[in-house]
Chains A and B, each alone.
Chain A
Amino acid sequence: MLGSTDLSYNVGDMSESLGQFEQIILTAILSLRDKAYGVTIHEKAVQLAAPKSISPGAVYVTLDRLEDKGLISSWLSDPTPERGGRSKRFYRLEALGERALEESAATAKRVWDTVAEIWGHLADEVRRRPKWSPVRPK
């Protein structure tokens, strides 16, 4: 049985190891709520990762990996006729996944704030500088 200390260590560890693609997939599952299955997750991930393209195969590999890490869970639905009588595998974010995504988003925000601050200063400096013009000395 995991104690609270162990759990917090694990969550910290998970969020550190979350890659950008894993974050995209977790965000897609979070935004789709109870409609998250292979096809919809792939469509949402393509929207989130634009202009980069994403193959469905990469989505399946990542979903399996996230499930192995315990960040998401899955279950099979009833068969549907439009899929040739086959079931859908739905995915749901687990508490561990929510916390890992939250920590990743917080880290990304801190990074962005720092970058924006530096770039903001740089932009001001560039604005103050006189424009460069290729004039030959006479």
Chain B
Amino acid sequence: MESGPSKVAETIAGYLLPPACREEILGDMRERYRSRFGYFLEALHEVPCVIYSRICRTTDAVVALMEAASMYTAFVIAAKCVDVTLLSAQSGFARLAIPPMVVLAVMSVADAYSDPQRRRPLRPLFAPTLGFAVAYFEQLMYRQWSLPMSVFAWGSGTGLLLVSTLRLIFPPIADRPQAANVPAFWQKLELATLSLNPRSALVPCGILLAVLLYLLVR
């Protein structure tokens, strides 16, 4: 009888599990190991549950709503300035909502998969950048729902700046400093401490202001 799962199976399961809970879940799965098929079935059921749970833990509904609203506003302003016909076209506003939705979904998953033990200074910018990259490919794949490239470019640029600024002010839950003996639920309800470095906020705010002024003057 096999004593444990194969290295390949464990590696695949390890890649699929979010890093924050990978260690204990893989250990538990190894302890429960009976057969290869059983391990596969367990992974098939357990991994989506764990990912869902991690997304729930790392997503702050209030901040997510702010991010969604700012991105949608950025795309609507881009459409108004670059291609007004899009706003009067059939399902124009719905088409403008697709890229923000894709970015929001990607950011939620990226936050769930972020490793809380590794701290990187550019991490708040990584998730939105990845989100807009995925949204770009989504635009290429579904032509009938895609936006004109100029609208997408302006909307993405402004949206990226807005979301990045929001993430610098309200970092994702996994990146916030964890106080001892305070449940994560209460940390969600509190606003993050404003330990914002003025220099780091000045650059994106300046670029954002310049872009908005340019769009308004045009």
What count of chain A residues pass the 8 Å CB interface test?
Answer: 25
Known: A56-B45, A68-B183. 16 other contacts (CB 8 A): A39-B32, A55-B46, A55-B49, A56-B42, A60-B50, A61-B49, A64-B53, A65-B56, A68-B184, A68-B185, A70-B185, A83-B27, A84-B30, A87-B24, A87-B27, A89-B21
Q: Is there an interface contact between B183 and A70, defined as CB atoms closer than 8 Å?
A: yes
Q: Convert B40-59 into 0s and 1s, putting 1 for each residue whose CB lies closer than 8 angstroms to a CB of A.
A: 00100110111011101100
Q: Is there an interface contact between B23 and A84, defined as CB atoms closer than 8 Å?
A: no
Q: Is there an interface contact between B31 and A56, defined as CB atoms closer than 8 Å?
A: no
Tell me the smallest distance from the CB of B14 to a CB of chain A, in Å.
10
Q: Is there an interface contact between A67 and B45, defined as CB atoms closer than 8 Å?
A: no
Does A130 touch B at the CB level, under 8 Å? no
Q: Which of A72-128 contact B (CB under 8 A)?
A: 73, 76, 80, 82-84, 86-89
Q: Of A56, A73, A76, which one neighbours B28 at CB under 8 angstroms?
A: A56
Q: Of A57, A68, A84, A89, which one neighbours B4 at CB under 8 angstroms?
A: A84
Give the 5 A-B CB pairs with smallest separation, nearest first.
A57-B49, A86-B27, A70-B183, A83-B27, A89-B24
Determine chain A's interface SS by DSSP, over half rule.
helix
Q: Of B27, B31, B53, B181, which one neighbours A60 at CB under 8 angstroms?
A: B53
A39 to B183, CA, bound (A): 23
Does B37 touch A at the CB level, under 8 Å? no
A38 to B188, CA, bound (A): 25
A contact set with B: CB distance below 8 Å: 37-39, 55-58, 60-61, 64-65, 67-70, 73, 76, 80, 82-84, 86-89
Does B26 touch A at the CB level, under 8 Å? yes
Determine chain B's interface SS by DSSP, over half rule.
helix
Residues of A within 8 A of B185 (CB): 68-70
Q: Is there an interface contact between B26 and A86, defined as CB atoms closer than 8 Å?
A: yes
A39 to B29, CA, bound (A): 8
With A64-B56, A87-B23: A57-B45 Cβ-Cβ less than 8 Å = yes
Q: Of A58, A65, A88, which one neighbours B27 at CB under 8 angstroms?
A: A88
A82 to B25, CA, bound (A): 14
Residues of B within 8 A of A73 (CB): 181, 183
Tell me the smallest distance from the CB of A123 to a CB of chain B, in Å.
42
Residues of A within 8 A of B50 (CB): 57, 60-61
Residues of A within 8 A of B30 (CB): 83-84, 86
CB nearest to A38 among chain B residues: B28
Tell me the smallest distance from the CB of B117 to a CB of chain A, in Å.
11
